[in-house]
Chain A
Amino acid sequence: MLRRIAGSLYWAARYLERAQWRARLVDVNYNLLLEVPPRHPEPWGPLLQITAEQELFASLHEKVTEAAIIEFFVFEKQNPSSIRSCIEAVRNNLSPLRHLISSELWVAVNRLYLECPEWSAQSLAASGVSSFFADLQRDFYTIEGIIDNTMPRDLAYDLMEIGTMLERPDNVSRLLDVKYHYLLPKLEDIGGPADMRQWAAVLRSASAFEAFRKVYGHAIRVNRVVEILVFDPAFPRSMRFCIERLAHVLARIGQEEEQAVCETSPCADLLAMLRNGTAEQTILDGLHEFLIRIENMCARIGEQVFDRYMSLE
């Protein structure tokens, strides 16, 4: 396989994951705000903190209003990470390599791409925000299902899996970090109803709410949320699950190589950290520092993978 194509597959998967993630993030927070009158002067502000896009947003919009946020996250063309831009990126990365993916996958992605130009504030209002996101989520699940059911477990699949599994922990990390450190700065609010609602929203943003209930019951505690989103070996959006998958795929790709990427630092170190760590100890030592470390390690694995399989230098 051409190195350029390997890069396209990797980025297509990353953008697909990013688009899904953005959709869940906006959807969940929209619903959260419907239920309670917000105390926060800018209730939509934290979304921009999570994605670290305050500056870009400010350059495009004057005020952080619901309409502006939805435009920015869903269909703003000038935002390279808006859902629309992500879907276009997925489609444009896959378009030249249609021969490597199933035609079902191409048609599903292309269909979604063709819908994007029709999205607008008016069309969202007409269909209702909730049903818009419900439809979108179904489209994403369809695409994921097609990937799972039609793509042989070969190099093309593995490269996409690497993209997905590097993008996902990054998103989970930002979500946790922002909630833990910025959303509720007053100490006396911790454990209060607003705090609980926000942690529940965090779980829903990661589609982890129901899984959480099953394992931990009704009581939402910070360390349990960290446990399921970071250290859980079975939940498909936990960091550990993602890095286990990543290591597995890297081992498969690197079978004939002297040393596979997963056997080297930082991938091996990261896996050890996630296998051996606990939520309680991590919070004690400082969750923020821990998350920053994980984000950096993921970035370094990404660079290694790029140098070994994709770089044209």
Chain B
Amino acid sequence: MLAVLPSATLHGLDGRYIRVEVDVAPGLPGCTIVGLADAALQEARERIRGAIRNAGFVFPPRRISINLAPADLRKAGASLDLAMAVGILLGSEQARAGTEGVGLIGELSLGGDVQAVPGILPMVAALSRHGIVRVVVASGATSEARLVRGVDVVGVATLAEAAEVVRGRRPRRPPVAMPRVTIPGTEADRAAGTAPLDVATAVPDLAEVRGQGGARRALEIALAGGHGLLMTGPPGVGKTLLARTIPGLLPPLDEAAALAVTVIASAAGEGPIRMLRRQAPFRAPHHTLSYAAMVGGGPTLTPGEVTRADHGVLFLDELAEFDRDVLESLRQPLEEGRVVIARAGRVTTFPARFQLIAAMNPCPCGFAGTDDGRCRCPDAVVERYERRISGPLRDRIDLWATMPRVPPASLVRMDEPETTQVVAARIAVVREHSRRRNRGALNAGLRGRELRLAARMRGDARERVVDLAEAEAASGRGTERLVRVARTIADLDGSDGVEVRHLDEAAFFRDAGQRAAGALAS
């Protein structure tokens, strides 16, 4: 007997509607899966066999053919397990179909339990687009599936329950059993919704960063305008601490961005997801990560760090320690806001509109520029260390902040620094205001004519731009960078046009190489 069930697989960030056709016919006992199923899917046979037996059913000793349509689409992952198993039960008449068109998404364990898979949100959305109104998912994934409007989501824990739902009955017990004790930072804690969703560790308040007025200012400008920022300084001056305050400083995402971010988190397997992610992503991969982990890829086309940081911040600590290949891979996403991955006949494009914030030591030992003479790196080594940051990457860094070691005495003397709340409010105002003026773009996205119009410079400011460009023998690009940053500084100042003092401050944050050149040309 033939059974047909709708299901879905994940293809990059997209869910794809898959029709699972199961035919149980007399003949030599066996089970074949056709329709471009990859190796992991072929293994599903064994999982399904075990799950059916251990759930109290009988794996029919007959000839079973499973076809996954459309046949030309490569399928991967375990999301089709549940549909195939239920198909076998229907085909061998161990279960009856009461209602037509129930979509099933889930992985099976040998014990017959249904488990959540990455990408529930985009997959349920794909089913919804194909007119499926009722979807069965693992009980842990119901809240994520319910983010898709207009779909009746049923959470099930076991294969037997799924068969009941297909027949037309609702499981009686509540779908999610809440854990009674929550341990901070654990999976259960995040499931309970007591901790911030995508940051495992707590976000420090900006007031915890003592001193470093220059770098704090640079960070505020960077976040307000979406500019790339590189912080340089010896270990222990607060580069990483400062970066970790970023999630608290970014304003919440709007509806469209939040949906995009949530889909990416779902596809990347960050679940369980209980609500739309309103917080801008903050990704801080370790410098040992691989090329594939940065840009995305792998057999199931998992999104990489650049995509997971979409609409948010990609923080690269110890920038110079990253592999050259990995840093070079940032070129395309930085220039185009997307990343194209080509793998064995498949080409996928992932969004990657992130803001780059990075930190590095001034030299391999980290102590160049401190007065105590601890740095023993030869000059050539220090120069080479700086040159690891290649041209295209430099071009995307608008702000260069150097962070000196702060003497303990001045730590005590200083006034109480501003808190996250105060600075975040300023950043939010500038972002909103500049988006309105720039037709949706942050200042970092301004180029050429748009930038000239947005800058609204008077005569004296224009002269200063010429002076600065000549002093540094700056390229057109370098000059644009300066004006862009000055635009954001003027916005923070509440000024309609860019003025001389804004340009001067922007000049403070220019590239170290340009700075050296400028000093001599004067």
Is this pair of chains taken from one and the same complex?
Answer: no
Instruction: Write the residues of chain B forming the contact surface with A, with a CB cutoff of 8 angstroms.
Output: none
Instruction: Write the residues of chain A forming the contact surface with B, with a CB cutoff of 8 angstroms.
Output: none
